[in-house]
Chain A
Amino acid sequence: MIEVENVQKKFGLLEVLKGVSLTVEKGEVVSIIGGSGSGKSTLLMCINGLESIQGGRVLVDGIDVHAKDTNLNKLRQRIGIVFQQWNAFPHLTVLENTMLAPRKVLGKPKEEAKAVAIAQLEHVGLVDKLDVYPSKLSGGQQQRMAIARALAMSPKYMLFDEVTSALDPQLVSEVLDTMRLLADEGMTMICVTHEMGFARDVSDRVAFFHEGVVEEIGPPSQIFGKRSKSPETKKFLANVR
């Protein structure tokens, strides 16, 4: 379970998160939607401790992410994250990218790490690209590789930060399909996304971010339907459609 409790985050004087609370249960898929600059990426960074926070707390399986004595390198093994772009390590082949963390973080022997990596690359449909460098992959393939790389650590949670936003339109669906597959398999996921169709179809709940707070959260039927109570949500959705 991921519990975000009243988290505050400032960059200098800029208050990006102004008390965000959000709980994600095991097996749940939560999508985060909201305008540019509303703090969605920042929240994901705070969840895996890549960013510090100024107030509140984040618990992952009951472990306080920002407590001084938390071993973040260990905690991050449970949390996979895929970014919008620049995920792939360009100097490593697809297989090497995917094997790296099982080898260097988990200390698996080479053959075992390779087996794990190949299994995950198969999972995302890239098993024919093992020895290819990322520069030879399409944007969509790069994103799927990044997903496989994260999965090779057997994470309990997956965070996605607009993983299709930098892609050509015709490549979006292959990545979304991979995410759907994960959701169907029961992965606990937080997906920051601009793909409203995906948010509606795949999420158990959708959170609308506005000016550093969760303006509204609920099942897709509420957020996208007439039951939405927030005028801000309505305004945002009217603009993206």
Chain B
Amino acid sequence: MFNYTFHWRPAFQALPAMLEGALITIQIAVLSMLIGTVIAIALAVASGSQYRLARFGASVWVETARNTPALFQIYMAYFGLGSIGIFLDSYIALLAGITFNNAGYLAETFRGGLRAIPPIQTRAGRSLGLGAFSTFRLIVLPQLFRIVFYPMTNQIVWAILMTSLGVIVGLNIDLTGVTQELNVRTFRTFEYFAIAAVIYYLITKLVTGSARLAAWKLFKY
């Protein structure tokens, strides 16, 4: 019946390897957020553009990212692009898939955020003689950043958890990948994945905690 005995010692011996994997996990999540944010700003601006093609392109991206499984998006980056001759290694494919997903979700967040900023703010900036880009950078973006700060924190937590999907495209250096390798070698499934779960938990708590602290330091108004 219940004949699984826990062996924590070998599992804890694997901790350094798992923590190294955790660093890769954080790296992918952070990169996917940074690139995703830049793309999301462009998508949010495009979706309010006067050009139909820009609006259309942005809406295809946002709709696909938000209404299909992240798993599918990562699959497409790996196998889908592979089938048309673009071969990404599993790290890049995972990064691309999550970035695509982040950008889609964040674009919607930013679009809502932009609507919350009174248009007069832009007019006030322009009337002082600032150019359109300077006005956006100096007046709109800082306000937008504050509005979307907490939704962005949620998104980075999502990004961290989504990295675990890398295992389906053969990634074996992130936290889940390392754990899975240990698992198939030793079949200590419960121990390894329990430790991995705790590490994920600690990472996301660390991220949300630092975000709180940053918000408190950053937003004085």
Contact = CB atoms under 8 A, between A and B. Distances in A.
Interface of A: 45, 48, 50, 73-74, 76-77, 79-81, 83, 85-87, 89-91, 100-101, 104-105, 133-135, 146, 149-150, 153
B221 A101 contact: no
In the complex, which range does the number of interface residues on chain B fall in? 20 to 34
A86 B138 contact: no
Interface of B: 118, 120-121, 123-131, 134, 138-139, 142-143, 146, 220-221
A153 B130 CA distance: 12
23 contacts: A50-B123, A50-B127, A73-B129, A76-B126, A76-B127, A76-B129, A79-B127, A80-B127, A86-B118, A86-B120, A86-B124, A87-B124, A89-B121, A89-B139, A90-B221, A91-B142, A91-B146, A91-B221, A100-B138, A104-B130, A134-B221, A146-B124, A149-B128
A185 to B, nearest CB: 21
Given A45-B123, A91-B146, 18 more contacts: A48-B127, A50-B123, A50-B127, A73-B130, A74-B129, A76-B128, A81-B127, A83-B124, A87-B120, A87-B124, A89-B121, A89-B125, A90-B143, A91-B221, A146-B124, A149-B128, A153-B128, A153-B129
Given A91-B142, A91-B146, A104-B138, A83 B120 contact: yes
Nearest to B218: A91
B33 to A, nearest CB: 22
A101 B121 contact: no
B135 to A, nearest CB: 10
Contacts, number: 60
A77 B123 CA distance: 14
Nearest to B123: A50
A91 B139 CA distance: 8
Nearest to A136: B221
B118 to A, nearest CB: 4
B6 to A, nearest CB: 53
Contacts of B120: 83, 85-87
B123 A83 contact: yes
Nearest to B142: A91
Contacts of B146: 91
Contacts of B121: 86, 89
A89 B135 CA distance: 11
B128 A135 contact: no
Per CB-CB distance, the 4 closest pairs between chain A and chain B, nearest first, are: A101-B128, A133-B221, A86-B120, A86-B118
Contact of B130 (A85, A91, A101): A101
Given A91-B143, A91-B221, A133-B220, A105 B124 contact: no
Contacts of A153: 128-129
Contacts of B143: 89-91
A48 B131 CA distance: 14
Nearest to B137: A104
A153 B125 CA distance: 12
A76 B131 CA distance: 11
A133 B219 CA distance: 11
Contacts of B138: 100, 104
